[in-house]
């Protein structure tokens, strides 16, 4: 079986499993579209094509794609997850949300780069050398968990973020919950649900820019709880 057929087989297997577990049909349809990573990249490029800041955003997109090369949506050695889906699909989806909300070009750049410093060998200095401006670097820094920062301190900082950095973090969590329907790690799902209820639900309720996404975030959260429960009893 070639890689493409293998990937399609895994996707269909996952979607059928979610259907068997009676996960909401909108979630399954949304996830199916999400996993078409080549189409998602095309859609983002269409948004960027009409931007006055096309070259700036394309530059960040190229850096993100290069930095995340070889990474997939697999979370650990013990879980296959979406190991056939390039990790780059995640920053693309976060950037699409930033584009649809008409965030600044620097924020769109940051949405593409939000995991680069934390999850790859690239440093803030590397990004600066590639021409990323200070506003972009500041947003990326706000979104990045420092290796010396414990989880509680990091979450407290996320809770107190404001402006475009907060919006990007909400887009990030929205997409991360969608990706979590491929996981089996109950401990991870428990932590993710608690964090989402304590930190992200209030943000989706508070920010006017997120008002149209609030109902969908709630659906995702309720369905991931159902998914977790059925993992526990299966």
We report the CATH number of the domain holding residue 125 as: 1.10.3210.10
pLDDT tens-place string over residues 188-206: 999 999 999 999 999 999 9
Number of independent structural domains in the chain: 1
| Predicted local distance difference test score (pLDDT) of residue 9 | 83
How much is the pTM? Answer: 0.94
First to last CA, the chain: 29
Residues in CB range of 94: below 8 A, 6 or more apart: 111, 112, 114, 168, 171, 172, 175
Please give the residue range of the domain that contains residue 37: 3-233
Q: Where are the alpha helices (DSSP H) in 68-149?
A: 89-100, 105-113, 116-119, 124-129, 134-143
pLDDT tens-place string over residues 85-136: 999 999 999 999 999 999 999 999 999 999 999 999 999 999 999 999 999 9
* 226 vs 180: CA distance, rounded Å: 12
Please, what is the Cα angle at 91 between 19 and 6, to 5 degrees?
45
| Predicted local distance difference test score (pLDDT) of residue 78 | 46
* 229 vs 223: CA distance, rounded Å: 10
Judge contact between 110 and 144, C-beta under 8 A: no
């Amino acid at each position: 079986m070639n890689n493409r057929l293998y990937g399609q087989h895994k996707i269909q297997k996952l979607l059928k499993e979610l259907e068997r577990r009676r996960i909401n049909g909108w979630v399954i349809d949304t996830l199916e579209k999400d996993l078409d990573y080549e189409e998602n990249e095309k859609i983002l490029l269409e948004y960027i094509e009409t931007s006055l800041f096309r070259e700036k955003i394309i530059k960040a997109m190229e850096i993100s794609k290069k930095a995340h090369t070889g990474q997939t949506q697999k979370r650990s050695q013990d879980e296959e997850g979406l190991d056939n889906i390039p990790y780059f699909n995640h920053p693309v989806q976060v950037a699409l949300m930033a584009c649809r909300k008409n965030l600044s070009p620097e924020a769109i750049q940051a949405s593409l780069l939000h995991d680069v410093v934390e999850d790859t060998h690239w440093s803030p200095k590397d990004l600066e050398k590639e021409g990323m401006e200070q506003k972009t670097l500041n947003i990326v820094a706000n979104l990045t968990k420092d290796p010396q920062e414990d989880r509680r301190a990091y979450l407290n900082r996320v809770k107190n973020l404001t402006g475009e950095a907060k919006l990007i973090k909400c887009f990030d969590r929205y997409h991360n919950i969608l990706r979590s329907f491929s996981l089996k790690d109950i401990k991870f799902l428990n932590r993710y649900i608690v964090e989402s209820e304590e930190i992200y639900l209030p943000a989706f309720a508070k920010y006017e820019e997120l008002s149209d996404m609030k109902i969908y975030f709630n659906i995702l959260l309720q369905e991931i709880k159902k998914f977790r429960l059925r993992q526990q009893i299966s």
